[in-house]
């Protein structure tokens, strides 16, 4: 199904007031039933990533970070089981996984008195059970599973889809008996840029007059 510019703009306009959660995607599907889930997710991701890039800096000022952290602490003190961090992210219009990263970094810095390394943060986001605070671990987990644009879960899904399409392309090249080099072969030959496949015999298209 071909998506017209007008249809794209209608969906994009609708996304302005929609938080980037899986629940929102379900509501979006109900509003635009003729569009596939993949199409809506693609538009959602593109538009939201543009928004995040425009507003990223304001969420990372020392004042903003401290304000978010204190609001998180106050929230979990009242009810540690409530989705405090997820609701905070939605309220300030920031991706839940990115908000979780901000709070986790601030928590670890206060605990260790030194800024945590990027690898430590990434490992804890991939596996919240490593976070040395059960309440925060649960809060981070809620953010990750409810974020459809950012975070380790989304990264895994993107990687799986990319690998699936790579396998399908390899099968197609083999079916057509086309000679090619894959990424591993290109890397072994010293190529600094390694696309999925390079045809060993160039294929030309007849010009259209």
| Domain match, 52 and 110 both | no
| Domain match, 120 and 186 both | no
Q: What is the pLDDT of residue 84?
A: 97
Per residue in 154-186, pLDDT tens?
A: 888 777 878 888 888 888 888 888 888 888 787
Per residue in 98-128, pLDDT tens?
A: 999 999 999 999 887 788 899 999 999 999 9
Alpha carbon distances (Å) from 37 to 43, 77, 145, 155, 207: 10, 38, 18, 18, 37
| Domain match, 66 and 126 both | yes
| Domain match, 134 and 159 both | no
| Domain match, 125 and 195 both | no
Q: 135 pLDDT exceeds 70?
A: yes
Please, where are the H alpha helices in the chain? 5-15, 22-31, 37-55, 62-78, 84-91, 96-112, 118-126, 134-145, 152-175, 183-188
Q: What is the pLDDT of residue 127?
A: 96
| Domain match, 105 and 161 both | no
Per residue in 18-38, pLDDT tens?
A: 765 666 778 888 888 888 888
> What is the average pLDDT score of the chain?
86
Q: Residue 84 and residue 103: Cα distance in Å, rounded?
A: 12
Q: What is the pLDDT of residue 101?
A: 97
For 167-205, b/e burial (b = at least 16 CB within 10 A) is eeeeeebeeeeeebbbeeebeeeeeeebebbbeeeeeee
């Amino acid at each position: 199904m071909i998506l017209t510019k007008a249809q794209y703009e209608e969906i994009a306009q609708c996304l302005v007031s929609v938080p980037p959660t899986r629940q929102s995607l379900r509501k979006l599907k109900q509003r635009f039933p003729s569009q596939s889930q993949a199409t809506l997710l693609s538009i959602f991701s593109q538009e939201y990533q543009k928004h995040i890039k425009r507003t990223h800096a304001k969420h990372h000022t020392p004042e903003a970070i401290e304000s978010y952290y204190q609001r998180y602490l106050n929230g979990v003190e009242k009810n540690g089981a409530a989705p405090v961090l997820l609701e905070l992210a939605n309220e300030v219009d920031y991706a839940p996984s990115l908000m979780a990263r901000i709070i986790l970094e601030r928590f670890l810095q206060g605990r260790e008195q030194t800024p945590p390394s990027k690898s430590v943060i990434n490992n804890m986001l991939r596996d919240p059970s490593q976070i040395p605070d059960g309440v925060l671990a649960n809060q981070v987990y809620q953010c990750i599973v409810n974020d459809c644009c950012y975070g380790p879960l989304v990264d895994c899904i993107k990687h799986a889809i990319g690998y699936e399409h790579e396998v399908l392309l390899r099968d197609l090249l083999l079916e057509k008996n086309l000679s090619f080099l894959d990424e591993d072969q290109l890397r072994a030959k010293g190529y600094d840029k390694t696309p999925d496949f390079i045809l060993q015999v160039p294929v030309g298209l007849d010009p259209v007059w």
